[in-house]
Amino acid sequence: VSGILVCEAGCILENIMSFLDNEGFIMPLDLGAKGSCQIGGNVSTNAGGLRLVRYGSLHGSVLGVEAVLANGTVLDMLKTLRKDNTGYGLKHLFIGSEGSLGIVTKVSILTPPKLSSVNVAFLACKDYSCCQVRTVFLF
């Protein structure tokens, strides 16, 4: 209902996308390898994907993580609040750390509502020199 997904790190991105599609939400991350990549690895590498420009990086979409440190300590930062000022934002240390600080085991992600329609535009130029010289403004 709130658009917040909580899942374990081993979930396949394509399975998450299918689940969210049935619930009326979309995943803010879309990759070519969505059939085999896992969300824990995506968070650990701060994967960008096809929807980066529209929805931003995972730093803005990830609300919380659970991670295991090298000594076995479990850090539970699995918040589901959109705004949380209750201490240090340690989750940002694990997003993009590629597992060097700890292994991400669970993640909570803010998922936007599914769009009711999609608009596609096709723009063409006569040749490459037209693209370089002319500036096109669309209003």
For 63, the domain range is 4-131
Two tokens at 82? Answer: 């959109």
What domain count does the chain have?
1
| 136 in any annotated domain | no
pLDDT at 108: 96
Q: Looking at the predicted structure, is the pLDDT value of residue 137 above 80?
A: no
Q: What tens digit of pLDDT does each residue of 90-118 get?
A: 899 999 999 899 999 999 999 999 988 88
* pLDDT bucket at 30, cuts 50 / 70 / 90: very high
How far apart CA 127 and CA 123 sit, in angstroms, is 12
CATH for 83: 3.30.465.10
Distance, CA of 30 to CA of 32 (rounded, Å): 7
User: Considering the entire predicted model, what is its pTM?
Assistant: 0.79
Q: Judge whether 51 lies within some domain.
A: yes
The structure tokens listed for 138 are 């669309």
Question: Per the domain annotation, does 65 fall within a domain?
Answer: yes
- 32, amino acid identity: G
Asked if 46 contacts 58 with a C-beta cutoff of 8 angstroms, the reply is yes
- Is 138 a domain residue? no
Confidence tier at 49 by pLDDT (50, 70, 90): confident
Answer yes or no: is 41 within a domain.
yes
- For tokens 């659970």, name the residue: 66
Residue 139 located in a structural domain: no
